[in-house]
Amino acid sequence: MGACVQFLVGIIAAFGAFCLGAVIGWSGPVEDEVMKNGAYDFVPDTTEWGLTGSLMTLGAAFSCIPVGILIGKIGRKVTMLGLLPPFFIGWMLITMAVHISMLLVGRFVVGFCGGAFCVASPMYTTEISQVQYRGIMGCFFQLFIVNGILYAFIVGAFAKCFVFNVACAVLPVIYFLMFMWMPESPVYLAQKGKIEKAEKSLKFLRGKDEDVSGELKEMVAEAQKEKEKAGKLLCRRVTLKGLFLSIALMVFQQLTGINAIMFYSTFIFHSAGSSLEPRFCTIIIGVVQVICTFISILLIERLGRKILLMISAFLMGMSTLIMACYFGFMKSYGIGWLALMAVSIFIIGFSLGFGPVPWLMMAELFAEDVKALAGSIAGTTNWVCAFIVTLLFPVLNVHIGAAACFAIFFGFALTAFFFILFLIPETKGKTLNEIQAKLGEKKE
């Protein structure tokens, strides 16, 4: 029974990722209507529409560190609930926009609120779960992101812009009504000395008849360690190593080309001679992402994090190498199916490993007293890299060509493979204290 409750609470907590997925998937389906058919009383120019897309990632980058501080001061649950009213307001600005500035501010706000869940949600989910379920529950975040993107692709494909906006705006409201009944993280409660409340939270999560004394004792012991200043916490050897590994995974997640592949997907479908409309192409990609992320959840506690990351890097590297060759000298051969296959391989590879695992490991690699701050730094890195790739890829594509761009992505995927092989530790089945001990080991 305890496992069912943990999964239910974890699923509800991860619904913030679904809200974020809708934000990420919004711009693609509405572009034609906004730019051509007058979804609003104004028509953005190319620069303004580019900002509309990229401001979401910039907003997310600005949110991670403030939220990392807040979840340590006022709690995981209160912080996540507090993000939802401005989330709704952001969608209202987008829905009711009468000027481009309202649309831009709205996109920044929903990006800020959605991106904040990248830090808060994985942390909350891993803190409420038992060790044997932590890997599965840690992947809920990415699973709900891709489901949110698919939701946006499907609703946006068949609904007018106004209806689509409303369908996205109700998501934070639904989340608030569900999550308000969930318990606060027992780890946070133990950190604040609220031992009875921490025990009550654990009993709710594990079952009222379960003996939680051992788990509670470990949380209290961790919480009672001497408190240090943030700068000193970050300078500990074990924290620096965890931060290096987590930041590297976030950088590789973005610089291996996921945003570029998504950006080029419709064009590649056309190159392959597909007669499908662009909206159906994006839905197909969304479905593949969901299926493969779900498979990753089934495999995460069997194969482990490291193996999935290596498989992921290998598949992404192989696909970007094919793409580089295709755009470089094979496009005229009439083998568009090869590019289509490469896109599919990339999406499968990313969804199996580099989609969910970096977010899970971000919550696994740090001690409780520094997790919020270090996780927020890693999350900020992810969104800054996403902003840079989103901004630079179209420019580089014009100046150096698609072949060179995909060759660069191949280089990052190859580097990621060897980085994981030699430096990433396996965290499957280990407690947070065991992971810290592993990171703190000195090489002989």
Q: What is the pLDDT of residues 129-174, one digit of tens each?
A: 888 888 888 888 888 999 999 999 899 889 999 999 999 999 999 9
Same-domain pairing of 6 and 153: yes
Residue 123 lies in a domain: yes
Note down the domain range covering 156. 1-182
Q: Which tokens is 156 given? A: 């946006």
Residue 27 lies in a domain: yes
Q: What is the mean pLDDT of residues 28-33?
A: 82
Residue 341 lies in a domain: yes
Does the pLDDT value for residue 278 go beyond 80? no
One-letter identity of residue 88: F
Q: Which tokens is 379 given? A: 């999350």
| 274, HSE (Cβ side, Cα atoms, 13 Å) | 22
Does the pLDDT value for residue 118 go beyond 70? yes
Q: Residue 246: in which H helix or E strand, if any?
A: helix 237-255
Same-domain pairing of 284 and 173: no
Residue 45 burial by Cβ neighbours in a 10 Å radius (0-12, 13-18, 19+): exposed
Confidence of residue 2 (pLDDT cuts 50, 70, 90): low
Where is mean pLDDT largest: 101-115, 263-277, 386-400?
A: 101-115
Q: How many domains does the chain have?
A: 2
Q: By percentage, how much of the chain surpasses pLDDT 90?
A: 39
Same-domain pairing of 13 and 134: yes
Does the pLDDT value for residue 24 go beyond 80? yes
| Residue where a domain stops, chosen among 128, 158, 182 | 182
Same-domain pairing of 259 and 156: no
| Window from 111-115, 208-212, 273-277, 402-406 with minimum mean pLDDT | 273-277
* C-alpha–C-alpha distance, residues 393 and 51, integer Å: 14
The pLDDT score that the predictor gives to residue 273 is: 64
Residue linked to tokens 């009383």:
41
Residue 151 lies in a domain: yes
Distances (CA, A) of 215 to 127, 198, 297, 402: 11, 10, 25, 53
The angle that helices 2-13 and 100-128 make with each other, rounded to 10 degrees, is 160
Q: Residue 176: in which H helix or E strand, if any?
A: helix 161-179
Q: What is the mean pLDDT of residues 51-72?
A: 88
More confident residue, 33 or 252: 252
Same-domain pairing of 311 and 378: yes
Residue 139 lies in a domain: yes
Residue 285 lies in a domain: yes
CATH number at residue 67: 1.20.1250.20
Asked if 260 and 409 count as a contact pair (C-beta separation under 8 A), the reply is yes
The angle that helices 305-325 and 336-349 make with each other, rounded to 10 degrees, is 160
Does the pLDDT value for residue 47 go beyond 90? no
Measured CA angle at 175 (ends 170, 180), to 5 deg: 135
Asked if 44 and 34 count as a contact pair (C-beta separation under 8 A), the reply is yes
The pLDDT score that the predictor gives to residue 173 is: 96
Q: What is the mean pLDDT of residues 189-216?
A: 86
Does the pLDDT value for residue 117 go beyond 60? yes
* Nearest one of 243, 190, 20, 205 to 129, comparing CA atoms: 205
Asked if 127 and 80 count as a contact pair (C-beta separation under 8 A), the reply is no
Residue linked to tokens 């190593």:
241
Buried b (16+ CB within 10 A) or exposed e, 27-43: bbbbbebbeeeebbebe
The pLDDT score that the predictor gives to residue 220 is: 82
Distances (CA, A) of 174 to 11, 77, 148: 13, 15, 14
Same-domain pairing of 117 and 250: no
Backbone phi, psi, residue 390, to 5°: -60, -40
Average pLDDT along the chain: 87
Same-domain pairing of 178 and 244: no
The pLDDT score that the predictor gives to residue 251 is: 95
Distances (CA, A) of 377 to 100, 236, 295, 321: 31, 15, 29, 31
Same-domain pairing of 242 and 143: no
Residue 211 burial by Cβ neighbours in a 10 Å radius (0-12, 13-18, 19+): exposed
One-letter identity of residue 314: F
Same-domain pairing of 236 and 137: no
Residue 208 lies in a domain: no
Confidence of residue 337 (pLDDT cuts 50, 70, 90): confident
* C-alpha–C-alpha distance, residues 152 and 277, integer Å: 16
* C-alpha–C-alpha distance, residues 384 and 388, integer Å: 6
Instruction: Using DSSP, state whether 431 is helix, strand or coil.
Output: coil
Confidence of residue 444 (pLDDT cuts 50, 70, 90): very low
Does the pLDDT value for residue 271 go beyond 70? no
